[in-house]
Amino acid sequence: MTDIVAGAPHDSVAGAPQVTTVHGTVRGAVERGVAVFRGIPYAAAPVGARRFRAPEPPEPWTGVREAVAYGPTAPKRPYAPPLDRLLPDPAVPGDGWLNLNVWTPSPRPDRAAGLPVLVWIHGGSLVHGSSAVPVYDGWAFARDGVVLVSVNYRLGVEGFGVLPDAPANRGLLDQLAALEWVRDNITAFGGDPDRVTVAGESAGAIAIAGLLAAPRSAGLFRRAVLQSGAPAALPPDAARGTTELIAKRLGVPATAAALAAVDPEALLAAQTEVTSGGNPLTGRHSFQLVVDGDLLPRDPMEALRAGASAGIDLLLGTNTEEYRLWFVPGGLTEKIGRLKLRLALLKFRVPNATARTYRANRPDATPGEILGALATDLLLRVPLSRLADARAAAPGATYVYEFGWPTPVQRLGACHALELGFVFDTLAHPDTQALTGPDAPQGLADTMHRAWVDFATGGDPGWPTWDARRPVGFFGQVGGDGRDGPAVVLSPRDDELRSWERD
C-alpha cells in the first residue's frame, strides 16, 4: 500500500470535494459549480514487469491523493503536419497512463445519487489522443446532470501490437478495466452503475464495437454511442504485420519479451516510422482490433449483426464529408485525377452502378471528391447502416444520426471529428476552434449536446428509432442552426446506400 501525502496546505483545499474509491481517497476541485477529479488510476502503471501484460489493479493508497491535474498520457507522437494544427494532442509525461477523469454535477458527490453516466473513449487511430484533449472537457455534461468519465488506454504497439507471448487487444482490456472501475466506484461520485453509456469517436467507436461484441463486457453498460467508426477487427495473421515491421526496424524478434527490453522512446520512434503516411481512407500500416478467440471470439460486425448486445441501445452516426479531414489539408483531393479514381474503384471493388450513382448525384465534383464520398460511405456509412438494419427488430433501440454542418476552416466541410466540439459543447475552447473556426453555431451545439445527454439519461436522443423508413437525425444544414432540434430525414441519399447492395 502506498502512502499519499496531500501536497497542498489545508486552507488551499478547503471545500474541495473528496471521494473514497475502492483503492483510496481522492481529492478533486470545484470548477464552475462542477466537481472534477482528474488522473485517477484505474489500473497499475503498465511498465516494467507489467509491460505488454493485461491490466492489473492499482496499488491501494492511504491518505488523500490529489486529483486535480490530468494524469500521464500513453506514449505517442503528435499528429503529423498539417493535421497537428487541426487536432491538438497534448502529452502529459509519466508512467501511470491507465487513469481516468470524472466530472460530476455536485461539488458534494455524496449528496447526489443515481445520475446517468457517460464513459468517453477517445479516438486517434489507436496511436494518438488521450482524455486530456480539451475538446473532451466533461463540464457541460456534468452541468446537465450526467456524470462524465473519460479514459486513457494503451496505444500503438504497447496496446494493440500482436505478439505471440502477450494477450491481444491490451488497449481494449484496459478499457474493460476502466469500465469495471466505473461499476465499482461511480456510485461514490453520484453516478448509477446501472445507467452507464459508453461513447467514442473514430478508433474509440471501433473499440466500443469491440466491447459490444466481447462477452466479458456483459453488464458493464446499458447504451453505446458510435461516432464515425464502424465495427472492425482482423485475424491475428493479418494484424501482426505492423508489429513485425516495427520489430524488424529495431532488429529484434516480434515478441513481448524482446520489445519489453527496447527503450520506450526507440519503440515509439520505430512505430511512428512504420505507421506514418497514408490515412484511414487511403490505407497504411496500422493497428487494429484482433479476433483473438478469447476477448473477441469472432469479428465484431458479424457478432453484432448476429445479435450480440442486442439489448443495448445504440446511437450510430457519421459526418457527411468524413474524408475531407484526410484528403483536403494535404492537397490529396486535387491530386486524384480520373485515372487514379478508376484505379481506386478497382482496388475498393466499387460496383460500376455505385460509381455511376455517386457521379450523377455530384455533377460538379472532382474525381478526388467522388472518391472521398465513396470511401466515406464504404468504410463508415454503409457498414453502420447495415448494422442498424440488422438491429431493427432487436430489443435495444437503434438511432442513426448524420452531422452535416460545414466548417469554414480550410474548406474542410463536414469532416471527420468536427462534431466533437458540438457533442461536448466546447466550441469556445481554442483547441476546438482549430477545426470549427471561431463562429460555429452555438445553437447547433446546444441541440447536439442535448441529444447526447438525453440518450445517456433515458435512451431517446429525440428522433424515431431506425426502421424500414430509415429515419436519420440530421444536425447541420438541413436543420438550420439546430435550435428547434435535429431535422428528421427519411432515407437520405438512399439510392447511394442501396447501390452498395450485392446479390
- pLDDT computed for residue 4 by the predictor: 62
- pLDDT of 111 over the 80 cut: no
Residue type, 479: G
CB hemisphere CA count around 460 (13 angstroms): 5
Q: Establish if 369 belongs to a structural domain.
A: no
pLDDT band at 5 (very low <50, low <70, confident <90, very high): very low
The reply to whether 10 belongs to the active site is no
Parallel/antiparallel/unpaired status of strands 147-151 and 115-121: parallel
The reply to whether 385 belongs to the active site is no
The reply to whether 322 belongs to the active site is yes
pLDDT tens per residue across span 478-501: 544 555 679 999 999 999 999 998
Pair (94, 5) in one structural domain = yes
For residue 490, the surrounding DSSP H or E stretch is strand 487-490
pLDDT band at 393 (very low <50, low <70, confident <90, very high): confident
- pLDDT computed for residue 479 by the predictor: 46
- Assigned C-alpha cell, 299: 469479428
Q: Establish if 37 belongs to a structural domain.
A: yes
pLDDT band at 375 (very low <50, low <70, confident <90, very high): very high
Q: Name the percent of the chain lying above pLDDT 70.
A: 93
pLDDT tens per residue across span 450-469: 999 999 999 999 999 999 99
- pLDDT computed for residue 108 by the predictor: 57
Q: Establish if 298 belongs to a structural domain.
A: yes
Cell 489545508 belongs to residue: 10
- pLDDT computed for residue 106 by the predictor: 75
Q: Which of 322, 402, 419, 496 is catalytic?
A: 322
Cell 466537481 belongs to residue: 35
Q: Which residues of 101-136 are buried (b: 16+ CB within 10 A; e: fewer)?
A: bbbbbbbebeebeebbbbbbbbbbbbbbbbbbbebb
Pair (324, 283) in one structural domain = no
User: Residue 96, SS3?
Assistant: coil
More confident residue, 281 or 503: 281
pLDDT tens per residue across span 164-220: 999 999 999 999 999 999 999 999 999 999 999 999 999 999 999 999 999 999 999
Angle at 314 between CA 311 and CA 320, to 5 degrees: 160
Q: Establish if 336 belongs to a structural domain.
A: no
Pair (171, 219) in one structural domain = yes
Q: Establish if 146 belongs to a structural domain.
A: yes
CA distance 61 to 72: 18
Between helices 203-213 and 170-185, what is the axis angle to 10°?
70
- Assigned C-alpha cell, 71: 494524469
Decide if 209 contacts 305 (C-beta within 8 A).
no
pLDDT tens per residue across span 238-276: 999 999 999 999 999 999 999 999 999 999 999 999 998
Q: Establish if 353 belongs to a structural domain.
A: no
Pair (296, 323) in one structural domain = no
Cell 427519411 belongs to residue: 490
Q: What number of residues does the chain have?
A: 503
Pair (305, 382) in one structural domain = no
Pair (322, 281) in one structural domain = no
Pair (322, 305) in one structural domain = no
Reported pTM: 0.95
pLDDT tens per residue across span 424-460: 999 999 999 999 999 999 999 999 999 999 999 999 9
Q: What is the CATH number of the domain that holds 152?
A: 3.40.50.1820
Pair (68, 185) in one structural domain = yes
CA-based nearest residue to 76, from 272, 247, 229: 272
Pair (281, 323) in one structural domain = no
The mean pLDDT of the chain is 93
Q: Name the percent of the chain lying above pLDDT 90.
A: 90
CA distance 211 to 231: 10
Decide if 39 contacts 70 (C-beta within 8 A).
yes
Q: Which of 106, 125, 131, 202 is catalytic?
A: 202
CA 412 to chain centre: 20
CA distance 194 to 101: 19
pLDDT band at 3 (very low <50, low <70, confident <90, very high): low
Pair (19, 142) in one structural domain = yes
Number of structural domains (the chain) is 2
Question: How far are the Cα atoms of 191, 199, 304, 383 from residue 145, in angstroms, in the given order?
Answer: 10, 17, 30, 33
User: Residue 479, SS3?
Assistant: coil
Pair (267, 324) in one structural domain = no
- pLDDT computed for residue 9 by the predictor: 29
CA 154 to chain centre: 13
The answer for residues whose C-beta is within 8 angstroms of residue 279's C-beta and 6 or more apart is: 326, 327
Pair (240, 198) in one structural domain = yes
Q: Establish if 250 belongs to a structural domain.
A: yes
Q: Establish if 355 belongs to a structural domain.
A: no
- Assigned C-alpha cell, 76: 505517442
Name the residue range of residue 181's domain: 1-309
